[in-house]
Amino acid sequence: MTDDTTVPHFRFFELEVVRTERIGHSFLRVTFGGGSLAEFPEFRSGGFDQSLSLFLPLPHLEHTVLPSTAEDTWFADWRAVPDAERPVMRSYTVREQRRTDTGGTEVDIDFVLHGGTSPASNWAGRAVPGSRIMAIGPAAAENKSVRFRPPAGTDALVMYADETALPAAAAILEGLPAGTPVRAVFEVPHEDDRFLSVPGGDGRDISWVVRDPATPGPERAERVREAFRALELPAARAPYAWIAGEAGTVREVRRHLVQERSVDRRAVRFTGYWRLGASEEQLLAEAYAGRAPSEDPDSAL
């Protein structure tokens, strides 16, 4: 009998840029290929918000080189690289995955273009076919990076996503059984990003909030709450909520659903993809130090 504890859940991949496509005012789709993707599990078999971490080269480098990919030491080895030389690590969800006519595998990842201050945005904007990066992702379809897990009997879905979570939300909507009632609020930074790659359909009520970049964090969260208060939730015995995006807004949406809409907190899956005022490096350090907010449905609001 195989001991499951010895089976790795994650592995490293070398990804090669196949093409890029501007798909909206704020989004750039990068399609990756490469021989190592033959080992990438079909993400729809494990979940629709499958994430992986990309290691992006610094601006003066063309490709990513990691000091180690050893399972037990890669993180410490990566952290030990001087700041001026360390590849930038950022987490993204897979928007789409397909088999090519030649039998290879491609994955699409949608990058939000933030301007000159974002390492990931800067890299995506200059990526060309042939550029290579490293990634750490799932070795098996069932893994901890899949968070959308509605229980059996779920009869409606409530969603919130900002632009960072919109690719995952779109993949989730594509995979839902036909006729599943959906109520969603999606927040984007520009009017032209509305309806971007988000499947509609009968029973789906989707509201869009176009964010004013000058709006402070608390006012931003309040606009999203007001959009939710205007939604008429479907009459359902077992609704499930998936909310993801900026951590402070996610927290307020969760509070609204549980306290004002009486959604069972155990049926609310919430994920802070980022946090206002914090870099991903800070969030990563907090996670490894055990100070990251819990996603446990029973945790305190």
Encoded tokens for 245: 């995006």
**109 to each of 18, 160, 202, 271, how far by Cα in Å?**
12, 20, 27, 19
The CATH number assigned to the domain with range 9-138 reads 2.40.30.10
Q: Where in the chain is the domain with CATH 3.40.50.80?
A: 156-288
The CATH number assigned to the domain with range 156-288 reads 3.40.50.80
User: According to the model, what pLDDT value does residue 301 have?
Assistant: 44
Q: DSSP letters along 54-103, please?
A: EEEPPTT-SS---S---TTTHHHHHHHS-TTTPPEEEEEE--EEEE-TTS
Encoded tokens for 78: 């990566």
Encoded tokens for 240: 């499930």
Encoded tokens for 69: 């990919």
User: According to the model, what pLDDT value does residue 179 have?
Assistant: 87
Task: Report residues of the chain scoring pLDDT below 70.
Answer: 1-7, 43-47, 115-116, 195-197, 199-200, 216, 277-301
In the chain, the N- to C-terminal Cα span, in Å, equals 42
Angstrom distance (rounded) from CA 235 to CA 74? 49
Q: Where in the chain is the domain with CATH 2.40.30.10?
A: 9-138
User: According to the model, what pLDDT value does residue 293 have?
Assistant: 56
Whether 296 contacts 101, CB under 8 Å: no
